Structure 1
């Protein structure tokens, strides 16, 4: 397929990010058809239909972030119906470029599409960096809502120094928080020191004492029962890690530790910006593939 042949995009499922994505694509003079948005009565001039019709009438298909639920159904929070792609839908999809998030999980649920044009926009570096910024902003917003003090001069621990950890450490430091970052290697320690933050080794975390706010970005069970037992009760833990997460929430309840699971923050706190990031990333993929 040539780039000039892409005239209509089908957006299948998703949250508010996909609604702003639809508007953004429509503003670029493409037709957009939403599928799996049964609770939505209208969205301006954008067509709303069932999933099969949206796939059938579109030249390219976009699935949300995440694309697939744990049971293999399409992620459709704007619908009361659970939809699993049937053979007819799969047959239609085989003829079109498909843009997904978390491609491996998508293809595990639908291996019939493994040899098709399936592109993972969530794996692109430009998407990951921009999304990390939105996640960090959302984490600070949650902290401001949950913590009765101020971020200014608060004692914060950021666990992990990946994209989100880097953005969050810089953001908290700019708000004049006292920031400590946990990491595992000397290169990260050097960067953390340059930021003006303190560093500790994640492997050495045996207790969490003296912090007002803890932000976990590590998708491994860091805050298990043993660590939570040795965490101050007045510390607020905000878990930003993707599922299964890094906090044992059952143990947190048992020890009366205030822990917040903060998943999909860009979709909750900045859906317009998040939708625009998805559009830009997908359009960049199209430029690369259909030159």
Structure 2
């Protein structure tokens, strides 16, 4: 795969909210999500075409853990290896992601799998406040419940290209849950922001709530709001990008100061802190 030809198929804008605002039962979380959605309506409609829908649909319930060596060999080389398990179905998947602020470094990273037609690869742009881009190339695989993920060779068995990217790799080096923390994730969806009129372009919104399973089950540790839009051929109109940019800035304005937490750690930073 020639990554120099990779297209950014998704652009996702992420902002951290005050986790304490979402403390309580799931019903309370849903009410607070709806309150945030309505609080964001006026500032967003001032710069974009519309925002509609509600954040009242629980689309995912998952357990998440990040794995790395004791010395964080993967993280130090800009890799993240994440395992997700669907709480309802038990479906298990791994994602290996290479993330970098330089687009051309990120898209040159080859993350092959041990089966040519197995797995979903993505090249994406994440935008964080005030407007900083990170690019990531990732491959997600569904794996069986019994598949081991205890040593680096288990990771390179899933992603053979990883061995070529890591210097002085020792396949027998152990890997384990980073920070010994497993996360319970609740993903709320149902709202969208219209950022293009002709043609109509809608950015899908999500509110992601993380709970540390070793802590209070009703006290989130991080809460993130995001919206994303995409194009498989990377044909992003300037006017659409401008509306997305302005909507993102509006979320950082004084109207939402009670909700947005400029000091909050990101999800990944929380795990690795």
Q: When the two structures are superposed, what TM-score results if normalisation uses the length of structure 1?
A: 0.22
Asked which structure has the greater RCO (Cα within 8 Å, sep 6+), the reply is 2
Bigger proportion of residues as helix? 1
* Greater C-alpha radius of gyration: 1
Q: When the two structures are superposed, what TM-score results if normalisation uses the length of structure 2?
A: 0.23
